[in-house]
Amino acid sequence: MKKNYVSNSPESTRMFKSDLLEALSKVQFFVPLIIYVPVIIYLLYKAIFTVQLGAATIALLMISGLFVWTFVEYILHRFVFHFVPKQKWALRLHFIFHGVHHDYPNDLKRLVLPPSASIPLATGFYFLFNALLPQYYVYAFFPAFIGGYLVYDMTHYAIHHFNFKSGLWKRIKQHHMLHHYQDPTKGYGVSSDLWDRVFGSRILK
- Mean per-residue pLDDT over the chain, rounded: 88
Which DSSP category does 203 fall into?
P
* Span 106-154, pLDDT tens digits: 787 888 888 988 999 999 999 999 999 999 999 999 999 999 999 999 9
Q: What pLDDT is recorded for position 24?
A: 81
Residues in contact with 183: Cβ distance below 8 Å, sequence separation at least 6, in sequence order: 1, 203
* 8 Å CB contact between 203 and 175: yes
* Span 168-181, pLDDT tens digits: 888 888 888 889 88
Residue 100 — pLDDT band, cuts 50, 70, 90?
confident
Q: What pLDDT is recorded for position 205?
A: 65
What are the phi and psi torsion angles at 46 (to 5°)?
A: -60, -45
CA distance 72 to 128: 13
pTM to 2 decimals? 0.90
Domain count of the chain?
1
Q: What pLDDT is recorded for position 4?
A: 57
Residue 89 — pLDDT band, cuts 50, 70, 90?
confident
Residue 102 lies in a domain: yes
Q: What pLDDT is recorded for position 5?
A: 60
Q: What pLDDT is recorded for position 58?
A: 98
Residues 152/64/170/204 CA torsion (nearest 10 deg) = -100
Residue 10 lies in a domain: no
* 8 Å CB contact between 80 and 74: no
CB atoms within 10 A of CB 16: 12
* 8 Å CB contact between 140 and 44: yes
* Span 158-168, pLDDT tens digits: 998 888 887 88
User: Domain range for residue 69?
Assistant: 29-199
CA distance 180 to 78: 13
Q: What pLDDT is recorded for position 2?
A: 44
* Span 27-70, pLDDT tens digits: 898 999 999 999 999 999 999 999 999 999 999 999 999 999 99
Residue 73 — pLDDT band, cuts 50, 70, 90?
very high
Q: What pLDDT is recorded for position 1?
A: 37
Residue 37 lies in a domain: yes
